[in-house]
A and B are shown apart, each in its own frame.
Chain A
Amino acid sequence: MKKTTLLACFLLMMAVTVFSQDKKRKPSMYNKQKEKKEDVKFLEKQWWLGFKAGANTSKVNVTNRYSVISPSNYELTTISKKYDNFGLIGSQATLEVSFYFKGFLLSFQPTYQHTRFSYTTDYEWTSSSNENDRVQLSYYQEQKIDYAILPLIVKYDIYGNKLRPYVQAGIYSALRLNATKALSTSGVDYAAGGKNEFKTETIDVGVDDLFAKYHWGLLGGVGLNYNFKNHVRLNFDVMYKLGMSNITSTQNRYGSDRLSGVGDAMDDMKLDNLSISLGCLFPLRFLQSSLQTLDR
């Protein structure tokens, strides 16, 4: 409830800030542009269409831990999943449609995002009577999830003309498209008469149902636009997505027999994602002959 209220306030503030800029800045903007009144008025608004792509890496924030294995003589924490945050590189491709209005851009950036993160779970069985009776086992699981990210972003150009740094903030909804897990098992069996190291082949399991169909979050970031030949912008974008809802399916937690058979159940978790993209943007509104945008 508290989270929802905060979110509502955040959104409202953002919306009011953006859409009240026209009123606040009207007198000064009007004076600055009075020489080319008509042109400037035309160029005060601009649509941008672009494409960008890049790499991303993820971190999970566990909210509730789950395990198929329920220990009877040791602490559950000893077999908790160990996440490798920001350890794997994913990729993303984004189509950007932005509307510029007096320093602010309202941007819709549908993104196809390939997300990866991994964790390991370690087990050990020992004997109090014979130290050679010992087996260590480790499961490594890599999650690969494809999301359609639907963000709504407000950008603000901080300063500059040719080189235009900006800050951005927004909100996104993610639709899970596909999810797989790659599971590999390794271990050491000391009871075999020596150090018997073993490793199984990696198996890939389709796990769409183990992940929530939708989740949402907030995002923020910085970027840089470089105006190239007046009508094309090269874009460098860094974005951090802060997951706000669970990415795990709470109803299908134990839905994969193949995984629960080896003791795996997904934790409840939120997904953070850091992405870096490069791309270009094209203006959709031009002055008659020069293909000139607001940037000079």
Chain B
Amino acid sequence: MKQSLNAILFFCAAIALTSCSEEENPQFDKDTFTKIYDNNQYDASNFAIDMRQTPDGGFIILGGRIIPGDSTYTGIYLMKVDEFGNFVKEMLVEGTSVNPIAGLTEYQTKYYFFCSDRTTLQAQIANVDANLESVAMTTVQGSLTYPAAASFIDNNFAVMGYNNADRLTTMSIVTPDAGVLAYKGFMIEPSDEVEEPIMDHFQRTGRKFPFAVGKAPNGLYYFNGFYNYTLSLVFTNMKDDEPNGVVQGSHDDGGFSAIVPVSGNKFASARFNFGDNYLMPTREIPTSGTSGIERLGGYSLPEMVSNAKVRILRASVEQNSVQKNVLIYGTDTKSKQIGLLYYDETTGEFINSRYLGFSNPFEIASITQTADGGLAICGMTQIAGRFGRITVFKLSKEQLQDDIAQAK
């Protein structure tokens, strides 16, 4: 009897020793990952522009690539990765279409983006399926050239372009099948004073301007582009020839670096001014009349690189069974990391921060909330400190919740 009891005790102790082991769950590998997409060709050079999640949990990444023998325009690069972040497929779109821009949009099982015809620089709307089987290009009707920013609004695209013949910033409403519903041009200059930096932007030989386009809650369309010699936020009803409102920057040295409408006249935005950066979460911006950007103030962040790229995402994060709306600012820091700064969308108060990447330099390209409630950040890194490669960070829903919960 005693021996049996001892045997049972020994057995129980042994089972207890084995009971504590690491839980293995493939879901963990989907929830959180960091990936760098490498090509072992010395001269391979792709860069990320935008990213969208596909229904299978994977992602499509829109990027640019160097076209051999062409130093003027950027080729189109598409990549498909699976839900674990692993590379699945890439597509190097033929060089007849160039200069892809951000605003990759899912619409009716296709993913749309804008680019230009290499010869005429006429805007093209491209669509590709979720598995990158084929890409279709359609030239946009009318005279929309040099597309610079696009946004999907009310089942159509608002597209900002540049008319270099007449020195106009153009604003168009384009249907998914390349029809033009509305078009307006806004004078930049009669001469060539701003032409050079604008062309440098398109040819990637100079600064990349934070061109943006969208629709305010009050029904006005807006674009962040050049108007009257100056990088400005321009509001238009797409009917009148003159803008409804203009928030002027400072030539090409100051202006909005990102803007996202929140509600009413409130926007989440960021601005740059001669290298300095200011974040302005949930702030009223006048949509009529002419005003200056500097009076908007903002939180100055010296940790950001000069004239930093900024991406703003409105996200909904579950907290104690209640959805909390937060603004996530993604930007490049001087420490060569991608910085994420969380703000309360309602109050504009700072919540928390997170920094991604280390050892090699990292830069942000795109930020998106995933179907599982997590966050995906697409960017660039310099692998081995030399080779520019696309990278994706995936944060889980729990990590995002922790970031919001651990308010400083």
Task: Tell me if chain B binds chain A.
Answer: yes
Residues of A whose CB lies within 8 Å of any CB of B are: 7-8, 11-12, 14-16, 18-20, 22-23, 66, 68-74, 106, 123-130, 133-135, 137, 150-152, 171-173, 175, 187, 191, 212-216, 244-251, 253-254, 257-263, 265, 268
Given A68-B36, A171-B18, A261-B381, answer yes or no on A250-B13 (Cβ-Cβ < 8 Å): no
Q: CB < 8 Å: which of A244, A254, A257 contacts B32?
A: A254
Do residues B90 and A245 form an inter-chain contact, with CB atoms below 8 A?
no
21 contacts between A and B (CB under 8 A): A18-B10, A19-B3, A19-B7, A20-B7, A69-B38, A70-B81, A70-B86, A72-B38, A123-B40, A125-B40, A126-B41, A135-B386, A151-B17, A171-B14, A171-B18, A187-B384, A191-B42, A213-B22, A247-B22, A250-B24, A257-B358
Nearest to B16 among chain A residues (CB) is A173
Q: Tell me, yes or no, whether B37 is within 8 Å of chain A by CB.
A: yes
* Chain B, 9-38, CB within 8 A of any chain A CB: 10-11, 13-18, 20-25, 28-29, 32-38
Q: Tell me, yes or no, whether B355 is within 8 Å of chain A by CB.
A: yes
Q: Tell me, yes or no, whether B319 is within 8 Å of chain A by CB.
A: no
Given A19-B3, A72-B79, A254-B32, answer yes or no on A173-B355 (Cβ-Cβ < 8 Å): no
Nearest to A151 among chain B residues (CB) is B17
Q: Smallest Cβ distance from A248 to chain B, in angstroms? A: 7
Cβ contacts under 8 Å, A15 to chain B: 6-8, 10-11, 14
Cβ contacts under 8 Å, B381 to chain A: 261
Q: CB < 8 Å: which of A23, A127, A259 contacts B43?
A: A127
A12 to B41, CA, bound (A): 58
Do residues A152 and B22 form an inter-chain contact, with CB atoms below 8 A?
no
Given A15-B14, A152-B10, answer yes or no on A72-B36 (Cβ-Cβ < 8 Å): no
Cβ contacts under 8 Å, A8 to chain B: 15
Q: Smallest Cβ distance from B64 to chain A, in angstroms? A: 15
Closest 8 CB pairs of A and B: A261-B359, A212-B22, A245-B21, A214-B20, A127-B42, A173-B17, A15-B7, A257-B358
Do residues B29 and A250 form an inter-chain contact, with CB atoms below 8 A?
yes
Given A72-B39, A216-B21, A250-B28, answer yes or no on A257-B355 (Cβ-Cβ < 8 Å): yes
Do residues A73 and B41 form an inter-chain contact, with CB atoms below 8 A?
yes
A248 to B8, CA, bound (A): 31
Cβ contacts under 8 Å, A249 to chain B: 22
Nearest to A70 among chain B residues (CB) is B87
Do residues A253 and B18 form an inter-chain contact, with CB atoms below 8 A?
no
Do residues B358 and A261 form an inter-chain contact, with CB atoms below 8 A?
yes
A11 to B86, CA, bound (A): 41
Q: Tell me, yes or no, whether B360 is within 8 Å of chain A by CB.
A: yes
Q: Tell me, yes or no, whether B4 is within 8 Å of chain A by CB.
A: yes
Q: CB < 8 Å: which of B6, B22, B37, B386 contacts A70?
A: B37
Q: Smallest Cβ distance from A120 to chain B, in angstroms? A: 15
Cβ contacts under 8 Å, B39 to chain A: 71-73
Nearest to B89 among chain A residues (CB) is A72
B17, B25, B32, B43: residue with the most chain A Cβ atoms closer than 10 Å:
B17
Q: Tell me, yes or no, whether B194 is within 8 Å of chain A by CB.
A: no
Given A126-B41, A129-B43, A254-B33, answer yes or no on A216-B18 (Cβ-Cβ < 8 Å): yes
Q: Tell me, yes or no, whether B383 is within 8 Å of chain A by CB.
A: yes
Nearest to B20 among chain A residues (CB) is A214
New A-B contacts (16) at CB < 8 Å, excluding given A70-B38, A70-B87, A73-B44: A7-B18, A19-B10, A69-B35, A72-B38, A74-B40, A125-B384, A128-B41, A152-B10, A214-B22, A216-B21, A245-B22, A246-B24, A254-B33, A257-B337, A257-B355, A257-B356
